[in-house]
Amino acid sequence: MYEISPTLRQYLYHFDRLRDIPRVYSELRRFTGAFPYEDPKGRETLWMSVMYPPEVIEELRPRLIKIYSELKIGRDVAVEHEHLKVDRIDFGDFGNSKPFRIRVTNLFNDNSDYFYVKQADASRIYGLELEHILSPNRINYMVKGNTLIEEHIAGVPGDAFLRDHLPKPDMNKVRIAKEFTKFTERSFIRLLGDMRSVNYVVDITPDFEEVQYRVRAIDFDQQSYEGNGNIYLAFRFNSNRPITKMAFSVLNRKSIDQYVNEEHAQMARRAKVESTRLRALLGIMRREQIAPDANVRTLALELDRMHGTKDFTDCTSMGELTAEHISLMLGV
């Protein structure tokens, strides 16, 4: 865990990420019981549904609804949302953020939505911001003190997709291989690590002729942290082996190069459109410690080896490595 510095908080304030919302993370830790949460098919997950004393949940509910309204509407509203109900709170005892997942249900139509309450961590903030700036996906999150609020990213969890969808005979293997190739490249360029199958989702969208896929990262705490270069290559993980093997079987080298070049061009355009924001973020990131010095030195050697250069030798922080890598790969 790395604290959010005053300079980074100033950046978050400027770009409307700091919000006047209740700080609830510590209060959410006051649960008195928990039981394993199972998915709709009865399979056990990494989450636990938690229970609270009546007086604690009565105190938490209006504060959580206020946060949800702020996240969705973008401002504090005077209207009471009596039709919204917090009907389940799940806790994940994993990662460095120890997240809570809040389910909010609209009592008028029984439609449910989710958001996440996590410990605020500088590494995750940098990851969220780089995703917002450089990826095709917009990221909605808010920060107050040590509380980080993230919007739910919809999609089929990567492990479930590989288990339940990939083997289907009607799966368009070329399209999903293309998207996974672009996702791997996107993660590598901005040095987002640990994209195992549980750390991304697959957004499936029916199109007028075929189904479209988009692979989206959902976990950002391994932004520019590890010294091992392979951590930043999604296809290196054993859990991604089925889709990696399939991608190499349906795509030739020229197709892979085409999709990689497409991703470079698209990311470069986004970087130019958001050049002021990106420069401000990387400028702060350069000056802060978000990884051990040993990891910085090791990753610099790894990146020089991967690219056949000596551009990273003089980098002294993960922020400098990230900025240099983005510049080298995108030419911005």
User: Residue 171 is part of a domain; what is its CATH number?
Assistant: 1.10.1070
Q: Which residue has the higher pLDDT, 312 or 93?
A: 312
Same-domain pairing of 259 and 161: yes
Q: Which of 98, 121, 151 is the last residue of a domain?
A: 151
198 is in which domain, residue-wise? 156-330
Q: Which of 136, 151, 166 is the last residue of a domain?
A: 151
Q: Cα angle vertex 128, ends 124, 129, to 5°?
A: 120
Alpha-carbon dihedral angle through residues 178, 183, 184, 190, given to the nearest 10 degrees: 150
**DSSP three-state, residue 20:** coil
Contact 195, 234 (CB under 8 A): yes
Quote the pTM value: 0.94
C-alpha 66/C-alpha 304 separation (Å) is 48
C-alpha 254/C-alpha 234 separation (Å) is 20
- Residue 80: predicted pLDDT: 62
Residue 204 pairs in a beta bridge with 213
Q: Which two tokens stand for residue 237?
A: 């993980």
In a domain, 48, yes or no: yes
In a domain, 194, yes or no: yes
In a domain, 1, yes or no: no
Please count the structural domains in the chain: 2
Same-domain pairing of 188 and 71: no
Same-domain pairing of 324 and 178: yes
Q: Which of 151, 176, 201 is the last residue of a domain?
A: 151
Same-domain pairing of 172 and 315: yes
Mean pLDDT of the chain: 94
Same-domain pairing of 140 and 163: no
pLDDT tens, position by position, 149-195: 999 999 999 999 999 999 999 899 999 999 999 999 999 999 999 99
pLDDT bucket at 79, cuts 50 / 70 / 90:
low
Q: What string of DSSP letters covers 55-111? A: HHHHHHHHHHHHHHHHHHHSS--SS--TTEEEEEEEEE--TTT--EEEEEEETTTTE
The closest of 244, 263, 224 to 136, measured between CA atoms, is 263
Q: Is pLDDT at 78 greater than 60 in this prediction?
A: no
- Residue 202: predicted pLDDT: 97
Q: Which two tokens stand for residue 199?
A: 């750390």
Same-domain pairing of 197 and 163: yes
Same-domain pairing of 188 and 310: yes
Q: Is pLDDT at 100 greater than 70 in this prediction?
A: yes
Same-domain pairing of 59 and 110: yes
In a domain, 171, yes or no: yes
Same-domain pairing of 221 and 314: yes
Same-domain pairing of 38 and 88: yes
Same-domain pairing of 250 and 320: yes
pLDDT bucket at 77, cuts 50 / 70 / 90:
low
Same-domain pairing of 140 and 185: no
